[in-house]
């Protein structure tokens, strides 16, 4: 399981990959080349409600982030699209306490899992 924190990859409330996130994804792609297993990319958020008009809820945001990571790995890094699944989990699989700033930060993440 590879866990990537949101702050490196996305601005708050956005699914657009930041330049430093793209750099890290390119490095990660080198490690993923040649893998023939399914790769699941999951987006996760904290429990703070969305306040922008582009994404109605954290479901949409988490799914858009996972999809954009997959698209980057497939379209920019030329990894095999057949291997990838993108999922959004919203706030419902926390790894931190949503009642603290530190916990919410941990919950805003992308997870990449190689399925055996």
What does the pLDDT read at residue 4? 86
Asked if 98 and 104 touch (Cβ cutoff 8 Å), the reply is: yes
Count of the separate structural domains present in the chain: 1
Rounded Cα distance between 109 and 116, Å, is 22
Q: Give the pLDDT confidence of 1-34 residue by residue, as tens digits.
A: 898 888 889 998 999 999 999 999 999 999 999 9
What does the pLDDT read at residue 53? 87
Better pLDDT: 7 or 42: 42
Q: What is the CATH number of the domain that holds 39?
A: 3.30.1330.60
Q: Give the pLDDT confidence of 64-93 residue by residue, as tens digits.
A: 999 999 999 999 999 999 999 999 999 999
To the question of pTM greater than 0.75 for the whole model, the response is: yes
Rounded Cα distance between 80 and 24, Å, is 18
What does the pLDDT read at residue 113? 97
Which range of residues forms the domain containing residue 95? 2-115
In sequence order, the β-bridge partners of residue 38 are: 115
């Amino acid at each position: 399981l590879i866990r990537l924190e949101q702050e490196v990859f996305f601005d708050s409330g956005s699914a657009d990959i930041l330049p430093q996130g793209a750099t890290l994804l390119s490095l990660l792609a080198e490690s993923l080349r040649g893998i023939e297993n399914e790769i699941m990319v999951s987006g996760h958020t904290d429990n703070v409600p969305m306040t922008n008009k582009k994404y109605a809820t954290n479901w949409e945001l988490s799914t858009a982030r996972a999809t954009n990571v997959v698209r980057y790995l497939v379209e920019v890094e030329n990894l095999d699209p057949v291997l990838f699944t993108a999922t959004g989990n919203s706030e419902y699989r926390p790894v931190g306490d949503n009642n603290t700033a530190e916990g919410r930060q941990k919950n805003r993440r992308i997870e990449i899992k190689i399925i055996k």
